[in-house]
Amino acid sequence: MTEIDKNPGAIAPGAASLPAHKFNFAICGLIGGTAAIALLGLAGQGLQETVLIAPFGASCVLLFAAPESPFAQPRNLVLGHLLTAAVGLAMLWFVGNSIWSMGLAVGLVIALMELTRTVHPPAGANPIVIMLGGKASALFLVTPVLCGVLVLLALALLVNNLGGKKWPLRWT
């Protein structure tokens, strides 16, 4: 019995085509990532505020390419970004933005995300983004962080569920 006989959805070695569900998932990722980043960028232009930050691009990869990952679940997305941005702001205000404080901030957010069960790897970049900018206010937690993750959350719910991926796997 060949591998194809055991698994009818498998592709024969050397076959040029992808299974239909893989192609559909890839298209959903294309649509989701494009829509998310474009919508955040356009919202920022309309509000004349920053709503798009680099870590959101990496969040899109998890949300639209690996939504089954524990790191891509809503709790991790929202709380991971909020927690890490708060740490980045605190470090900037109280310690400054040296190389060592950036390193410590990233180490702290890793530990805190682990302890709070909110690990979202793209959020680990938030302290660096904040500290490199050097002048963020507490409003950074609202715009871009909270506004951005809520847009990402809504689009991931829409695109993944319409595209055949059950998402989220869990809310808590």
How many angstroms separate the CA atoms of 55 and 62, rounded? Answer: 11
Assign 7 a pLDDT band (cuts: 50, 70, 90): low
15 pLDDT more than 80: no
The predicted model scores a pTM of 0.86
Work out how many domains the chain is built from and give that number: 1
* Three-class DSSP category at 116: helix
In a domain, 157, yes or no: yes
Percent of the chain with pLDDT over 70: 89
Assign 4 a pLDDT band (cuts: 50, 70, 90): very low
In a domain, 140, yes or no: yes
Taking only the tens place, the pLDDT of each residue in 114-148 is 999 999 999 999 999 999 999 899 999 999 999 99
In a domain, 16, yes or no: no
73 pLDDT more than 50: yes
The pLDDT value given to residue 18: 63
169 pLDDT more than 90: no
In a domain, 46, yes or no: yes
The pLDDT value given to residue 17: 67
In a domain, 171, yes or no: no
Residues 6+ apart with CB under 8 A from 104: 91, 95
Q: Which residue range(s) make up the domain with 131?
A: 22-162
In a domain, 93, yes or no: yes
CB atoms within 10 A of CB 13: 8
In a domain, 104, yes or no: yes
In a domain, 169, yes or no: no
Q: How many angstroms from the chain centroid is the CA of residue 106?
A: 16
